[in-house]
Amino acid sequence: MKGILKEFKEFAVRGNVIDLAVGVIIGAAFGKIVTSLVNDIIMPPVGKLLGGIDFSQKIINLDPGVKTASGQDITTLAQANEAGATVIAYGQFINVLIDFIIVAFCIFMLVKGINYLKRKEHTKPEPEKTTTACKYCLSEIPAAATRCSHCTSQLEAEGSNAPA
């Protein structure tokens, strides 16, 4: 039992697990922001442009015999919930679909930015080589050396390991 607890502790404090947990929490918060953006900012003007439609209340009533407490036909999601009618809430689906498209676009842009930074990182020029191999013993020596520090061979010119 102690072995399992030790393994679980190592797993739980591993960097990837903590990063994942932080990502899930931030993702949930971001999802709430996007839902509010869709429901409170985007859909009201769209509904207004389409003749004052409130998409969150658009339904297809599957129980036409069920009426509101006052005997009226059910026309909104709130009325259907109150009366216990079975409905298809296509307006809610439209809102969730727009939520998804916005979140997917934001994630796409984030991944695109990360990939751009990674590409930029790989295009860094290679640093100038400061060592070279001795032609005689193949040991690494400074490029400006005139004599090998390992085999003491005389090197012809600075940085050139051609035999003399």
Of 122 and 103, the one with more pLDDT: 103
Contact by Cβ (8 Å): 26, 52: no
**Cβ atoms within 10 Å of 44's Cβ, excluding its own:** 15
| % of the chain with per-residue pLDDT over 70 | 91
Domain extent listing, the chain = 8-52, 54-124, 127-156
The average pLDDT across 48-64 equals 87
Q: 17 or 102: which carries more pLDDT confidence?
A: 102
Question: Per-residue pLDDT tens for 107-124?
Answer: 889 889 888 888 876 666
* pTM summary value: 0.55
Q: pLDDT tens-digit profile of 13-40? A: 776 777 888 888 988 998 899 889 888 8
